[in-house]
Amino acid sequence: MENEKHHIVSYSTYLLILALLLVLTVVSVAVTQINLGTLTVTIALFIAGIKSALVLAIFMHLKFDNKMYAFMAIGVVLLIGIMIFITFLDYLYR
Amino acid sequence: METHRDDTASKIGMWLFLLTEMLLFGGLFIVYSIYRYKNQEAFHQAAHELDVVVGTVNTAILLISSATVAMSISAIQLKNKKFALFLLGTTIVLGLVFLVNKYFEWGIKIQHHIYPGSEVMAQRGQGDILFFGLYYFMTGLHALHIIIGLVFIAVVFARIWNDKISHDNFALHENAGLYWHLVDLIWIFLFPLFYLIT
């Protein structure tokens, strides 16, 4: 029983993404060894964000699957983001 | 006998479960960010005590293992059973290496009496206690997920070996892959938060 068409991702695509992820890891380690003050946190989390987007889109097939999965995942990420934002509003202005 | 199968439903179920996992760790990240905000100097100093090299090696190990799991799903779709088994075997070995590294990392910390509830920790400040409490809890919960993921992948390995999973029936394989990627995804955030941001 075939429910939906399956996209076969080539090995080379996965290897390319892996190489990108490893390079980004090295970059984030290198950048955080330099003292940039508060900018360090922003850069490290920005790179982690790019890495997780690559894993979600390619490794977890969100790019190729029914868009419903991507919407659900983005929804949860937004929810966590909103929770962090609201919690900080509370701590900053109490 | 024809058995009923619904691959789409099983995948949606897996995704719903993964989303609750994201919320579980998301909650912990909120706790981490608030405590970090309230104890900036202590978190800054305590993070220096973690070994960046071990953290970086473990990051690379998890990223490679994620790629091999993803490739094994392509291999099974291309009817290349042997290569799929080889890739899954590689993933299991890499997952075990990750756990061994974690064992030594924790072991050294505990030898130095840095663990929640120790006398050395009691003499240090509130911020240090919070940092290492979160460190042990979050990396420990993550390691538990690695163990569960390894068992899951071992089951998939056995079922491919027995031809129960094949090119037209690999929903379980795909779900095991999704779970493993989630474990990788969580580590992508744990690594900078505990090892890099010093």
Domain positions in chain B are 8-196
- pLDDT, mean over chain B: 93
* B78 contacts A60? CB cut-off 8 A: no
A82 interfacial to chain B (CB closer than 8 Å):
no
Contact (CB, 8 A) for A14 and B70:
yes
What is residue A2's predicted lDDT score, i.e. its pLDDT? 44
Residues A31 and A40: beta-carbon distance below 8 Å? yes
pLDDT of residue B1: 55
Chain-centroid distance of CA A2 in Å reads: 30
What pLDDT digit, counting tens, does each position of B30-77 carry? 999 999 999 988 998 888 889 999 999 999 999 999 999 999 999 999
What confidence score (pLDDT) does residue B2 get?
A: 64
- Residues of B with CB below 8 A from A3's CB? 6-8
Q: Pick A44's closest partner by Cβ from B22, B59, B196.
A: B196
Question: Which tokens is B29 given?
Answer: 């990240």
CB pairs under 8 A between A and B: 123
The radius of gyration computed from the CA coordinates of chain B, to the nearest angstrom, equals: 19
Residues in B closer than 8 angstroms to A11, CB to CB, are: 71, 74
**The pLDDT value given to residue B52:** 92
Mean pLDDT confidence for A69-81: 94
* Predicted confidence (pLDDT) at residue A37 exceeds the cutoff of 80: no
Query: What does CATH list as the number for B8-196?
Result: 1.20.120.80
* pLDDT of res. B177: 97
**Tokens 């097939």, located at residue:** A61
pLDDT for B182 beyond 70? yes
Mean pLDDT of B17-28: 96
Choice between B2 and A26, residue whose per-residue pLDDT is larger: A26
In chain A, pLDDT over 90 holds for what percent of residues? 76
- Chain B CB contacts of A44 under 8 Å are 192, 196-197
| Residue-level pLDDT at A68 | 93
> What is the least distance, in Å, from the CA of A84 to any CA of chain B?
6
Q: How many CA atoms lie less than 13 Å away from A62 in the CB half-sphere?
A: 18
Please report, rounded to a whole number, the percentage of residues in chain B having pLDDT higher than 90. Answer: 80
Say what the ipTM of the complex is: 0.91
Residue pLDDT, tens place only, B87-129: 999 999 999 999 999 999 999 999 998 888 888 888 888 899 9
Instruction: Tell me how close the Cα of A55 comes to any Cα of chain B, in angstroms.
Output: 7
Structure tokens at B59: 């990051």
Q: What percent of chain B has pLDDT over 70?
A: 98
**Residue type, position A89, single letter:** L
The 3-state secondary structure of chain B reads CCCCCCHHHHHHHHHHHHHHHHHHHHHHHHHHHHHHHHCHHHHHHHHCCCCHHHHHHHHHHHHHHHHHHHHHHHHHHCCCHHHHHHHHHHHHHHHHHHHHHHHHHHHHHHHCCCCCCCHHHHHCCHHHHHHHHHHHHHHHHHHHHHHHHHHHHHHHHHHHHCCCCECCECHHHHHHHHHHHHHHHHHHHHHHHHHHCC
Q: What share of chain A is helix, strand, coil (3-state, %, to 5)?
A: 75, 0, 25
The 3-state DSSP class for residue A61 equals coil
Are B25 and B186 a contacting pair, CB within 8 Å?
yes
Query: Buried (b) or exposed (e) across A19-40, using 16+ Cβ within 10 A?
Result: eebbebbeebbebbeeeeeeeb
More confident: B75 or B1: B75
Name the residue among B130, B137, B140 with its Cα closest to residue B35: B130
**Quick one: DSSP state of residue A56?**
I
For an interface test with A, the pick among B15, B33, B35, B51 (most A C-beta atoms closer than 10 Å) comes out as B15
